[in-house]
Amino acid sequence: MSDPIAEPADPGQEGTDPTPTAEQGPTGESEAAAETLAELEEDAAEDGTGETEPYDAVVLVSFGGPEAPDEVMPFLRRVTRGRGIPDERLEEVAEHYLAFGGKSPINDQNRALLAALGEEFTRRGISTPLLWGNRNSEPFLTDTLRSAAGEGMTTFLAITTSAYSSYSSCRQYREDIAESIGELTEEGTPVRVDKIRQYWNHPGFASTNARLVSEAARQVRDRTGVVPHLVFVTHSIPDGMDDTSGPGDGEGNVYSVQHQALTQAITDEARATLGEDVVGELTYCSRSGPPTQPWLEPDVNDRLRELAAEGITQVVLAPIGFVSDHMEVIFDLDTEAQETAAEVGIEVLRVPTVGVDPQFVSGLVDLVVERAAQARDESPLRPAWPVAEPWPSVCAPGCCPNLRVAKPAACGAD
């Protein structure tokens, strides 16, 4: 799909189960069978579009990834531009992509997420356009915003595919959004882009992960009679990036603290659900950078070796750091960590990422509605679990700083 503009539940969209929209009426077959004409007409009468005012469109902003072998190196150079990542590392990472035919699954996963968001919009009577723009591959965010601006849209709400707070998982998205706004401003079509809050502790993300982990743990326990050890995984980042994550005047370490809090809460939930003494811990994957630079540890592979030595035989591997099964998940976990586990005699069940789980998708739409209400100066309910404080929708000045250069960042108070 090269056209980055997808109307909600566009019946022409690839891989989408067409759902009738308010305008179209009950033309789709699958859903029409489940709902009567009267119910559909009633749904259509409830126009939810006002719930997304003042936004002209909602835009899914993601990392991007290559879709063909010749796109791999340009993608990697773009991701690492100005970053001093050694060529050997780029070639090594290129091999991971080439082992999967040069195609990352991330764009297809975002197409599926867009379709699911569109269906949820339709269900709520929201006809606000849903767009998609990537930071590092087509469709590029700047191009998406430019063509939307060409159709008269000026005010956008971004959903990023990243749940936590750190430079890599929050401010870098905000910087790239600011760069797009800057380009469009120079072209004479200034736009405004706001962002939903980081959602690691929104129930749509956190409780969905808790359910998926508990289901996996129960499945292993019921099949093997062994209570599995829970190994949570997220993307490692440099220690310095973790130390400075969070509001400029805060304590830092917000990235690792958020993950530790969710690890603890989900472990407690699995313990309660199974009625067993479940143990869980946080590990990291996908470190890069020079070996001399400290990154967050322990590495998931090192920990699996130690756990085997401690007598653990069943592990449930929960990639809570990621929203879809992209390259980090299918290579670093399903390939590398699985190999390590097999080597040391541990059986691993990898938990699915939240992906297009209806509870997650519905949570994202709740976050859109919440942010829009805030933009209208209303005070919406802002649910949070496991930590009662929802992350601010407008990041504090200096939040998750860029440690190399100061750059403008959108969606914040600085």
Ligand X SMILES: CC1=C(CCC(=O)O)c2cc3nc(cc4[nH]c(cc5[nH]c(cc1n2)c(C)c5CCC(=O)O)c(CCC(=O)O)c4C)C(CCC(=O)O)=C3C
Give me the residues paired with residue 133 across strands: 61
State yes or no: residue 235 binds ligand X (CB under 6 A): yes
Q: Which residues contact 180 (CB under 8 A, 6 or more apart)?
A: 133, 141, 142, 145, 193
Cβ proximity to ligand X: between 80 and 155 the closer is 80
CB of 212 to ligand X, least distance (A): 18
> Dihedral of the CA atoms 267, 200, 133, 68 (nearest 10)?
-20
Q: Which residues contact 408 (CB under 8 A, 6 or more apart)?
A: 175, 178, 179, 182
Q: How far apart are CA 229 and CA 192, in angstroms?
A: 46
- Residue selected from 110, 169, 244, 353 as contacting ligand X according to rule CB under 6 A: 169
State yes or no: residue 171 binds ligand X (CB under 6 A): no
Within 10 Å of residue 366's Cβ, how many Cβ atoms?
21
State yes or no: residue 327 binds ligand X (CB under 6 A): yes
Angle at 92 between CA 86 and CA 98, to 5 degrees: 135
Helix (H) or strand (E) holding 344: helix 338-344
The response to whether 97 counts as a known ligand-binding position is no
- Residue selected from 269, 299, 328, 332 as contacting ligand X according to rule CB under 6 A: 328
CB of 85 to ligand X, least distance (A): 5
Among the candidate windows 85-93, 312-320, 353-361, 371-379, which touches ligand X by CB under 6 A?
Answer: 85-93
Q: Which residues contact 390 (CB under 8 A, 6 or more apart)?
A: 197, 201, 202, 382, 383, 384
Tokens matching residue 377: 């100066």
- Residue selected from 22, 93, 220, 315 as contacting ligand X according to rule CB under 6 A: 93
CB of 80 to ligand X, least distance (A): 5
- Residue selected from 288, 314, 340, 353 as contacting ligand X according to rule CB under 6 A: 288
Cβ proximity to ligand X: between 16 and 288 the closer is 288
DSSP state of 181: H
The response to whether 235 counts as a known ligand-binding position is yes
Pairing status of strand 57-62 against strand 347-350 = unpaired
Q: Are 204 and 392 within 8 A, CB to CB? A: no
Ranges of beta strands (E only) in 330-408 are 347-350
Give the type of residue at 327.
M
CB of 100 to ligand X, least distance (A): 9
State yes or no: residue 260 binds ligand X (CB under 6 A): no
Among the candidate windows 159-167, 212-220, 298-306, 363-371, which touches ligand X by CB under 6 A?
Answer: 159-167
The response to whether 180 counts as a known ligand-binding position is no
- Residue selected from 6, 61, 72, 106 as contacting ligand X according to rule CB under 6 A: 106
Residue nearest to ligand X (CB): 288
Q: Are 26 and 38 within 8 A, CB to CB? A: no
Cβ proximity to ligand X: between 168 and 189 the closer is 168
Cβ proximity to ligand X: between 217 and 333 the closer is 333
- Residue selected from 13, 16, 19, 104 as contacting ligand X according to rule CB under 6 A: 104
- Residue span 112-151 as binding mask against ligand X, x where in contact by CB under 6 A, dash where not: ----------------------------------------
Within 10 Å of residue 17's Cβ, how many Cβ atoms?
14
State yes or no: residue 206 binds ligand X (CB under 6 A): no
- Per CB under 6 A, contacts with ligand X among 55-84 are 63, 65, 76, 79-80, 83
State yes or no: residue 21 binds ligand X (CB under 6 A): no
Cα 43 → chain centroid: 30
234-272 burial code (b ≥16 CB/10 A, e <16): bbbbbeebbebbbbeeeebbbbbbbbebbbebbbebbbe
Cβ proximity to ligand X: between 166 and 201 the closer is 166
Contact positions vs ligand X (CB under 6 A)? 63, 65, 76, 79-80, 83, 85, 89, 93, 104, 106, 161-162, 166, 168-169, 235, 237, 288-289, 321, 326-328
Annotated binding residues, as ranges?
104, 173, 235, 328
Annotated binding residues for Fe(2+), as ranges?
235, 328
Annotated binding residues for Fe-coproporphyrin III, as ranges?
104, 173
